[in-house]
Amino acid sequence: MSNRIVGNYYHLQKQIGSGSFATLYEGEDIRDGTKIAIKLEPLNSSYPQLNFESKLYTLFSGSFQVPRMHLFTKESRENAMVIDLLGPSLEDLFNLCGQQLTIKTVLMLTDQMINAVQFIHEKSFIHNDIKPDNFLMGLGSNKNQVYIIDFGLSKKYRDPTSHKHLPYEEGRSLTGTPRYASINALNGIRQSRRDDMESLGYVWLYLLRGSLPWMGINARNTDQKYSMIMEAKAGISPEDLCAGYPKEFVEYFKDVRNLKYDEEPHYAKYRQLFRDAFIRYGYKFDYNYDWLDSRGRLIMQKTPRKFPIFVRDPPSPKKSENHGPVPTKLQMYKKISEEAKRYEEIPTYVSEDEEKGSETPTLMSSDSDAPETYEAVVSDSKNKTFDGSSDSETSSDNIVKVIPANFSGSTDEWKKEPKYTPRRQPFKMPKVDQTIPRWMFTN
């Protein structure tokens, strides 16, 4: 165990993760023993991101789905950021559960994930790297809460004051993970809110199916691989992609793929879609995720499912009767060019970073204006941590409340729908349980 102290108060302990540009450690606040996470990045990094990311954590501090940043400081050889310690990622839990999650678990996740992405968008940024690794569960009393992390690739999509959208642009390099990237992003179009939402859909299907049709594509180079992934995504219809799963996923993909470049996604509509599916399936919202045992504890190894899940792989895009042949790249660009004409005369906002060709927008005028050490003030609450402590050790005022205080609905507002039997499910669906969490009545 290291004896290193970061920022005077944070004891650096064991390494718990690493990436291309930074290393993540578990640590402890020596003042009160609170467990925290410490992210370290070399000062001579080729692509420094931690200073920028720390500013976004400060900007996003109003959300209970973004971990609190306690400190950012420049050490002798590294940049250091201290944030709340969270639990495993959805990718970790997906692997723990045998690389496939049940429909119930995914539907319980959709609402919180949409909320998290919507919050980022309302702050005039897009995440730009939506994937299971960047959604984490909480610890202790917050173990049912979904958090969104890793804003190193996030970009501004509009001016925060005037809300003027950045101009439509083609020929840009891909930012993000190709497996979950949108069709437009793979085609080199500047990303906007619609791309985050399309990526969310691919994440849910990955968790449900256990894989995606374009995984495992081999190519001679990166450009060819991106092109092949794009053609695979564009050549498969939502009906084929979501075959065997709730029809709401088909509706979701049809909607987000038809969004215009600067159009606001229909967040409330998407939430309601999946809430309706949850009720129709007769599920009870008990936070009994696949990775928890009967006592609500994390399972230590994969366990057999209570019910089998039959997944029919979509037919080959080239033989799809619903969607026709796979469009060529030229055909895709013709479609893109038609959309581009809409934005030729639109007044545009271009930040200083965009004029200089920078891929990283700033929240301050320059790095020299930012203090080398600063703390994020997000709450008057002193003990708002997610350290895995028992409920008795956490003040009730500091526990994240999922149910809105201004809720005024009732279960009578829900209309009963005919029983729906999912395709190829061999077991009898349970009756609709009207014990629905109150937050589901709000948009």
Q: What is the CATH number of the domain that holds 59?
A: 3.30.200.20
Please tell me whether residues 75 and 92 are part of one structural domain.
no
Q: At what angle do helices 329-340 and 222-234 cross, to 10 degrees?
A: 80
Q: Please tell me the predicted confidence (pLDDT) of residue 373.
A: 44
Contact 248, 417 (CB under 8 A): no
- What are the CA-CA distances from residue 332 to residues 167, 178, 196 (Å)? 20, 17, 20
Domain boundary among 45, 60, 84: 84
From 134, 288, 124, 140, select the one nearest 192 (Cα to Cα).
Answer: 124
Q: Please tell me the predicted confidence (pLDDT) of residue 169.
A: 96
Contact 28, 35 (CB under 8 A): yes
- Whether 422 is covered by a domain: the verdict is no
- Whether 214 is covered by a domain: the verdict is yes
Please tell me whether residues 119 and 75 are part of one structural domain.
no
Contact 372, 75 (CB under 8 A): no
Q: Which helix (H) or strand (E) holds 163?
A: none
Q: Which helix (H) or strand (E) holds 374?
A: none
- Whether 348 is covered by a domain: the verdict is no
**SS3 call for 208:** helix
Q: Please tell me the predicted confidence (pLDDT) of residue 409.
A: 46
**SS3 call for 139:** coil
**Per-residue pLDDT tens listing for the chain (443 residues):** 578 999 999 999 999 988 778 899 999 999 999 999 999 999 988 888 899 999 999 999 989 999 999 999 998 899 999 999 999 999 999 999 999 999 999 999 999 999 999 999 999 999 999 999 999 999 999 999 999 999 999 999 999 999 999 999 999 999 999 999 999 999 999 999 999 999 999 999 999 999 999 999 999 999 999 999 999 999 999 999 999 999 999 999 999 999 999 999 999 999 999 999 999 999 999 999 999 998 888 887 554 444 333 333 334 444 444 445 555 555 555 555 565 555 544 444 444 444 444 444 434 333 434 444 444 433 333 333 334 443 433 333 333 333 344 434 443 444 344 444 444 444 444 444 444 454 444 44
- What are the CA-CA distances from residue 409 to residues 114, 243, 273, 436 (Å)? 21, 34, 18, 11
Please tell me whether residues 192 and 273 are part of one structural domain.
yes
Please tell me whether residues 46 and 96 are part of one structural domain.
no
Number of H helices, E strands in the chain: 11, 10
Please tell me whether residues 112 and 240 are part of one structural domain.
yes
Torsion 92-93-97-103 (CA) sign: negative
Domain boundary among 305, 323, 357: 305
Please tell me whether residues 107 and 212 are part of one structural domain.
yes
- Whether 317 is covered by a domain: the verdict is no
Domain boundary among 245, 274, 305: 305
> Binding site: residue ranges?
39
The CATH number of whichever domain residue 222 belongs to comes to 1.10.510.10
Residue 124 gets the label, from left (phi > 0), alpha (psi -120 to 50) or beta, of left
- Residue of 29, 129, 195, 240 marked catalytic: 129
> Binding site for ATP: residue ranges?
39
Q: Please tell me the predicted confidence (pLDDT) of residue 302.
A: 58
- Whether 165 is covered by a domain: the verdict is yes
Under 8 Å CB-to-CB from 328, ≥6 apart: which residues? none
Q: Which two tokens stand for residue 182?
A: 């949108």
**SS3 call for 371:** coil
DSSP secondary structure string, 390-440? -GGGS-GGGSPP-S-TT----GGGSPP------TT--SPPPPPP----GGG
Q: Which two tokens stand for residue 145?
A: 């809460």
Q: Which helix (H) or strand (E) holds 37?
A: strand 35-42
Q: Which helix (H) or strand (E) holds 34?
A: none
Under 8 Å CB-to-CB from 208, ≥6 apart: which residues? 100, 101, 103, 106, 245, 311
Please tell me whether residues 76 and 211 are part of one structural domain.
no
From 376, 398, 378, select the one nearest 387 (Cα to Cα).
Answer: 398
- DSSP class of 62: T
Please tell me whether residues 131 and 255 are part of one structural domain.
yes
Contact 86, 274 (CB under 8 A): no
Contact 232, 214 (CB under 8 A): yes
Question: Rounded to an integer, what distance in angstroms lies between the CA atom of residue 366 and that of residue 364?
Answer: 5
Maximum alpha-carbon separation in the chain = 65
Residue 375 sits at φ, ψ, to 5 deg, of: -115, 145
Q: Which two tokens stand for residue 198?
A: 């399309």
**SS3 call for 14:** strand
Number of compact structural domains in the chain: 2
Please tell me whether residues 52 and 102 are part of one structural domain.
no
Which range marks the domain in which residue 75 is found? Answer: 13-84
Q: Please tell me the predicted confidence (pLDDT) of residue 325.
A: 53
Q: Is 84 an annotated catalytic residue?
A: no
Please tell me whether residues 132 and 267 are part of one structural domain.
yes
- Whether 35 is covered by a domain: the verdict is yes
- Whether 258 is covered by a domain: the verdict is yes
Please tell me whether residues 50 and 145 are part of one structural domain.
no
Q: Which two tokens stand for residue 331?
A: 């055909």
Q: Please tell me the predicted confidence (pLDDT) of residue 340.
A: 56
- Whether 400 is covered by a domain: the verdict is no
Q: Please tell me the predicted confidence (pLDDT) of residue 18.
A: 83
Please tell me whether residues 70 and 133 are part of one structural domain.
no
